[in-house]
Amino acid sequence: MAVFRCGRFPEGDVPIHTTKGLVEFRGGRAVVDDPEVAAALREVPDVFGITEEGRREPPAGRPAQSAPKAAWVGWAVGHGMDRSIADGLTKTELIGLADQIDPDPEED
pLDDT single digits (tens) 4-39: 999 888 898 999 999 999 999 999 999 999 999 999
pLDDT single digits (tens) 55-101: 655 555 788 888 888 888 888 887 778 888 989 999 999 999 888 87
Distance of CA 101 to the CA centre of its chain: 20
88 CB neighbour count, 10 Å cutoff: 10
b or e along 26-58 (b: 16 or more beta carbons within 10 Å of the residue's beta carbon)? eebebebeeeebbebbeebebebbbeeeeeeee
48 pLDDT tier (thresholds 50, 70, 90)? confident
* Whole-model pTM over 0.85: no
Predicted local confidence at residue 72, as pLDDT: 87
Question: Concatenated DSSP letters for 43-78?
Answer: TS-GGG-EEETT--PPPPPPPPTTS-HHHHHHHHHH
